[in-house]
Structure 1
Amino acid sequence: MEDQGHDCNELQKLRKLVAKLAMEIDAKNMRLFYMEEKYDQLSTALKSMAMDKRKLQQDHAREIERLQSVILNSEKTKLELDNQRKEVELRAKEVDEREIQIKSKHEKLDSLMRELEEGGDELQSLESLNQTLISKERTTNVELQDARKALIRTLQGINDVEADIRIKRMGEVQIKPFRDACLKKSSAGDWQMRASTICSSWQDILGNASWHPFKNRVVNGKLQEVIDEDDGKLKELRGGWGEEAYEVVIKALMELNDYNPSGRFVVSELWNYKEGRRASLKEAIEYLVQRWTAKSMKRKRSQAQTQNTTAV
């Protein structure tokens, strides 16, 4: 019986121990559960803190970029302002220089006005002299033109084809190329009359002011009037009567365009055939004087020879 009682006591102790251990296990489980909850909370908080940290880092990086941009823009703005300041200073300097120039010009103008006021009579005298000179120049030009016309009339009466100074009929078509062309085409019949008729026909064509075989072309940077080689009449002339006939017609046309573009009729001109240019009044007078002197000496020699013959 004692053994049974002893066993019962042991069993109760074991039960109490098991119950105590169970309670301790439950308490530990509760603490473990609490710690797991705390861990989860801390883990969530750490994750949130990490996200906040990354966000702060991104915000910080963006702010640094913004500050760098602000600094860069500030430097650009500073440079622009510095350039504007220099430009304003330069313009101010130019304005000052311009003001000095204007002031100097005003002073010169005032001085000139005073001189003009003081020399009013002299100015009127100079104006009168200027008008007199202009009038004399016009009179001289008229006299020179009259003298040139008189020389032309005089030389027209002299038939000296060897002289350097002769009359040239500007705008007159030369007949020789047409004679040569007619002779080549047919030596039979009155080819000379035919050449004369064709030459006269082209002279009439040149005199027609409505015919204008020219076109505008830029030559050496300037707009000039040149011969239109595609003109129908000129193409017909070149094809029918040859290059030489074409050249003499073109030459006469250019002379008319230079000497008488409005009237388109032949104009007599003093001409230096030796140098191929318009002769001056001096050259024409010298030629007439030399011709008169030569004729005078020839006449004197002839008279002397006659006298010697009579005396013998």
Structure 2
Amino acid sequence: MTTFDINPAETQEMEAPEASGIEVRDLDGLYHAQRASPASLFQPHPVNGTGFIYIEQGEGEHRIDGGVYPYQAGSLIFVDEGQRHAFDPSDRPQGKMVTIPSSFFTECAFTIRHSNFVPFRLSLLCAPVLQLTPDQSASCKRLLSQIAAAKNDVGIDAIMLQLLFSALVHKLSNYSSHQRSVANDPCRQRFDEFLALLEEGYQQGREVKCYANQMALSYKQLNQLCKRCSGRTAKQLIDLRVNLAITRKLREEGGCIQAIADEFGFDDITNFVRYFKRHNRMTPSCYRAAYQGQRHHPDD
């Protein structure tokens, strides 16, 4: 899996990026599986990958990084890698747990070339609970059923799974954007402004101060805004966006490492390699070789 560790890795891991995939599991199955595990779903535990919980039945409170978020039938609860969350033991909601590896986001963005993926993922950090209308909930449930069926069909083309996921992202992005535009929350609006600036300028600048100046904020104020809305610093969000774009470039055919470094504003190839390795625990050339090896030998 492509990771976004902000701490430099001491050793270089030569593992290939995780094979793409999206997992859709019934919550009942998770409750049953956890009986044999010392870890409890009802105590804070780490999130593996990006994902969301689709609530079909139930009403209670979900805990994410110490925050308490009410939910009901039709709620989508978004969680992201690095967070800690816990289910409500007094409710045991019914529904689906959807887990999406970071590499799957990258592959979908590369294959489908749609701009929704990265802004969608970053905007989820702003509002972890999305309440769907009955019609929206029914549409989401149908797509999740199709994704689960496609995932279990060994003969299906991987592109079909990515197209189904793209349709789901497009729907949820539209639902989320509409709710954010209705909500009168100045902090959320300013955070959306930062995400829009980041989407436009991530290739030209990775400095927090640059974005703060464009928003007439200080470095500290922009960090406080990002922490409040997403739980992450502005630098972490910038690096997340840049790293996703770089990994996408490395998956494309052709294009030397030096050219990619130049495109993202790295004056020195050594600095580019160091930056990439810090976030992915392998060099750009190793990442590209591992990905190409997966493509040419998918069953190994």
* TM-score > 0.5 by shorter chain: no
TM normalised by structure 2 equals 0.18
Name the larger-Rg structure.
1
Bigger RCO (CA 8 Å, 6+ sep) = 2
TM normalised by structure 1 equals 0.18
Structure that is richer in strand per residue: 2
Structure that is richer in helix per residue: 1
